[in-house]
Chains A and B, each alone.
Chain A
């Protein structure tokens, strides 16, 4: 009896958390179920629709490489620091095994890829976080890579674009993780003083240490529809105020309404919006009337 129960539990676990890797291994033509409305659609259709549910508009979570494909010209990125990996500075029980496991699962080295490419011909430095790697947590590697990217953008005078998604700080690096918030914010402070343009794009979810540092410091802050964006998690807030929160609490739309964002942009319009913004900020020889 007990054995059967165990088996069932295990099975349910596998069914509810499909990793990107296994998702990719599903042969083409297979169906995909929307986690929000339950609509079933062809994978190919979904991909054509920027991984947005055609019936309810739910934006599926993307990993970093999927974003590169959708965003950068030719799906090409010249990666910075691609071989940077985390250490275990506190000798935190189980941490090295967990990072190893994450690398295996996702094929990434840590929760962000950084590098340069072009969008609509405009050169940019991009940082793209992936939630599938360690819940996108901010540790020393993410902090260092983002700072190096900001420094590169400053030196090359390219705009900086960061796609954030994160559950918060990486507890396994404790105080060093916390300090990455200060480090990245300080680097963005320098970049801002140098006149650089930083566009921050918040995706589902962006919480804790990431939202309380670089993610909310953009000159322009965009968000994908329906993303959860906030400092504390819903469960913690509900415990604090002892009330149920409304469904739309901490969504992009909620944040827009409260003045924390410039614009909520549908994924299919994101590239065009970025090109427009980049164009605005590119110094050109414009003939000025009367001269």
Chain B
């Protein structure tokens, strides 16, 4: 088991022991099959115990793991015939967001998402997956193109946050995000958004106004990073886990809050353990939801999306004094 996370250590150790025993038995030609079977049994139980009740902290470790599949991994494994399209036609081509056209089964779709780097060099080119305004504007350009050619849109969300730097401010980070929110709400094609890793704040939402919003089983979605919340709330960013738990950021919590529509299951241990299986599960969900959405007219799709977001919120009214 390569690249295990801290909480997976016990499983990895046990696996190591089993492998050792198998090797040793083969070398010395001793039959350890009973012991091995017993250990495999224990291994299964341990795996079950650890993975069936992942804590928020463990989920964060999974989604932040460098092995976590990225948007391009899903584009390549869920879709076929992908052609990447570049640039916002205004300033540049932000590689922190990728997008283009591809086929989902037989259906031509526009697909896009935040793109984190896979290694240091890639991360530098992609600004650690933190988009500038031109990234959001490229995404919007592709969405409007999809709208024109009546292609469904699939977006993948995986971002710590929009880039908080001076270059982004100068080019209008706020407006770029706000514009996407407004324009996405007016699209007349099916829009399905999937949070595949980190759904961080406005930079995530800028690709997130869909008719259906899904999350992978271990993905997280929040208004601010746990560290950011802790530093504001408690003036202490080391209390990030406490903030993360209070903010209810897991897919399961967010489904319960009525903000997302469905959860895409992950293979045991997370998407990175079996990308092929994950791609299959994801494709199944995308087709299932697209099937329903494609029954709607363009106007109904727009109305459906508006109603979905219109009803989100929790408020009360002061009781009139007796």
Q: A178-B201, A245-B166 are in contact. Are A147 and B310 (CB under 8 A)?
A: yes
Contact between chains at B317 and A175 (CB < 8 Å): no
Contact between chains at B317 and A143 (CB < 8 Å): no
Q: Which one of B96-104, B137-145, B222-230 is at the interface?
A: B222-230
A85 interface residue, CB < 8 Å from B?
yes
Measured CA separation A178–B161 after assembly (Å): 13
A214 interface residue, CB < 8 Å from B?
yes
Contact between chains at A140 and B172 (CB < 8 Å): no
B257 cross-chain contacts in A, Cβ below 8 A: 89-90, 175-176
9 contacts between A and B (CB under 8 A): A143-B313, A169-B224, A170-B223, A174-B247, A178-B223, A182-B205, A188-B182, A213-B202, A216-B178
A38 interface residue, CB < 8 Å from B?
no
B292 interface residue, CB < 8 Å from A?
no
**Contact pattern, B 289-320, Cβ under 8 Å of A = 1, otherwise 0:** 00000000000000001100110111111101
Interface residues of A in 87-102 (CB under 8 A from B): 87, 89-90, 92-93
A245 cross-chain contacts in B, Cβ below 8 A: 166
Contact between chains at B309 and A175 (CB < 8 Å): no
B146 interface residue, CB < 8 Å from A?
no
A93 cross-chain contacts in B, Cβ below 8 A: 246
Contact between chains at A179 and B259 (CB < 8 Å): yes
B181 interface residue, CB < 8 Å from A?
yes
B73 interface residue, CB < 8 Å from A?
no
Contact between chains at B164 and A232 (CB < 8 Å): yes
A18 interface residue, CB < 8 Å from B?
no
Measured CA separation A241–B177 after assembly (Å): 21
Q: How far is the CB of B237 from chain A (nearest CB, A)?
A: 11
Q: How far is the CB of A163 from chain B (nearest CB, A)?
A: 16
A209 interface residue, CB < 8 Å from B?
yes
B170 cross-chain contacts in A, Cβ below 8 A: 258
**Contact pattern, A 188-208, Cβ under 8 Å of B = 1, otherwise 0:** 111011000000000000001
Identify A241's interface contact among B165, B175, B221, B312, CB under 8 A.
B165
Q: How far is the CB of A111 from chain B (nearest CB, A)?
A: 13
Contact between chains at B177 and A231 (CB < 8 Å): yes
Show the binding face of A for B, using Cβ within 8 Å: 83-87, 89-90, 92-93, 109, 140-141, 143-144, 147, 168-171, 173-183, 185-190, 192-193, 208-209, 211-217, 229-232, 236-237, 240-241, 243, 245, 249-250, 258-260
What is the number of contacts between chain A and chain B, taking CB atoms within 8 Å? Answer: 193
A249 cross-chain contacts in B, Cβ below 8 A: 166, 169
Extra contacts, 7 of them, besides A176-B314, A231-B169 (Cβ < 8 A), are A89-B257, A169-B223, A174-B222, A175-B247, A178-B222, A182-B184, A231-B202
In the complex, the chain B residue whose C-beta lies closest to that of A82 is: B318
B174 interface residue, CB < 8 Å from A?
yes
Measured CA separation A140–B317 after assembly (Å): 12
B233 interface residue, CB < 8 Å from A?
yes
B166 cross-chain contacts in A, Cβ below 8 A: 237, 241, 243, 245, 249
A182 cross-chain contacts in B, Cβ below 8 A: 181, 184-185, 205, 208-209, 309, 312
Identify B315's interface contact among A84, A92, A179, A230, CB under 8 A.
A84
When A and B form their complex, which 3 residue pairs have the shortest distance between CB atoms, in order from nearest? A232-B164, A186-B185, A185-B181
Q: How far is the CB of A287 from chain B (nearest CB, A)?
A: 37
B155 interface residue, CB < 8 Å from A?
no
Q: How far is the CB of B307 from chain A (nearest CB, A)?
A: 10
Q: A84-B316, A186-B306, A231-B174 are in contact. Are A212 and B222 (CB under 8 A)?
A: no
Identify B222's interface contact among A175, A188, A232, CB under 8 A.
A175
Q: How far is the CB of A84 from chain B (nearest CB, A)?
A: 5
Measured CA separation A259–B169 after assembly (Å): 11
Contact between chains at B164 and A237 (CB < 8 Å): yes
Contact between chains at A237 and B165 (CB < 8 Å): yes
Q: A171-B232, A193-B186, A249-B166 are in contact. Are A212 and B246 (CB under 8 A)?
A: no
Measured CA separation A259–B175 after assembly (Å): 11
Contact between chains at A189 and B183 (CB < 8 Å): yes
Contact between chains at B162 and A175 (CB < 8 Å): no
In the complex, the chain A residue whose C-beta lies closest to that of B260 is: A175
In the complex, the chain B residue whose C-beta lies closest to that of A184 is: B181
Contact between chains at B168 and A183 (CB < 8 Å): no
Select the residue from A83, A89, A175, A243 with max chain B CB neighbours within 10 A.
A175
Contact between chains at A180 and B179 (CB < 8 Å): no
A144 cross-chain contacts in B, Cβ below 8 A: 313, 315
B219 cross-chain contacts in A, Cβ below 8 A: none
Select the residue from B165, B184, B318 with max chain A CB neighbours within 10 A.
B165
A181 cross-chain contacts in B, Cβ below 8 A: 177-178, 181, 202, 205
Contact between chains at A175 and B254 (CB < 8 Å): yes
B285 interface residue, CB < 8 Å from A?
no
Measured CA separation A169–B247 after assembly (Å): 13
**Contact pattern, B 146-162, Cβ under 8 Å of A = 1, otherwise 0:** 00000000000000001
Contact between chains at B313 and A189 (CB < 8 Å): no
